[in-house]
Amino acid sequence: MSEHDAHDVQHDHDSHDTYQRLITLLDDARVDYELIDHEPEGGTEAVSALRGNPESAAAKCIVLRVKVDRRTTRNVLAVVPGDRRVDLDAVKALYSARYAGFSDAATAERLARSVPGTVLPFSFDKDLEVVADPDVVAQPRLYFNAARLDRSLVVSGADYARLAGPRVERIAGPAAG
């Protein structure tokens, strides 16, 4: 097995573990949720069309790197409605930071424990803080890929907020596009 193959196997394993952790978390909390199987897709617009939900009801999850000062960098999982973008200036202001930007892919995958397009609005890593826009937790039905490209999950925004315990702040900018 090549190093690349071993890496892919590890990816699949991590994503499977993350998926199982999510389902266990929901089951243990006795939260009502729905699973939707669909064609493998990670893009918010395309996967929303497959699931038949408005983009505004999808959770777009983006791992950010926030440099508070020279010595302190925080990793933040920003969760915004699927039809909006992350307002990096708002995130920067929230942390009184010098810089806020997108994390590199390797760091994002390691912290989120899943591949791009499957990042959950939950964190299973102590080094990844979750900040969700109020419009996300207000959703009666919140849709997101379940740490897999071929399966999505639907849960109420209120149950999401209770389980994920995000810091709820206005971090969504205007509609993407």
What is the predicted pLDDT for the residue at 5? 42
Q: Are 82 and 48 in contact (CB under 8 A)?
A: yes
- The Cα 6–Cα 95 span in angstroms is 38
Domain residue ranges of the chain, discontinuous segments joined by +: 3-175
- The Cα 135–Cα 175 span in angstroms is 12
What is the predicted pLDDT for the residue at 2? 42
Q: Are 36 and 51 in contact (CB under 8 A)?
A: yes
Average pLDDT per 10 consecutive residues for the chain, totaling 177 residues: 43 76 96 96 94 97 96 97 97 98 95 92 96 98 95 98 98 81
Q: Which of 128, 132, 136 is nearest to 66 (CA)?
A: 128
Q: What are phi and psi of 154, to 5 degrees?
A: -125, 130
The CATH fold of domain 3-175 = YbaK protein (3.90.960)
What is the predicted pLDDT for the residue at 8? 45
- Within 8 A by CB and 6+ apart from 52, the residues are none
What is the predicted pLDDT for the residue at 9? 43
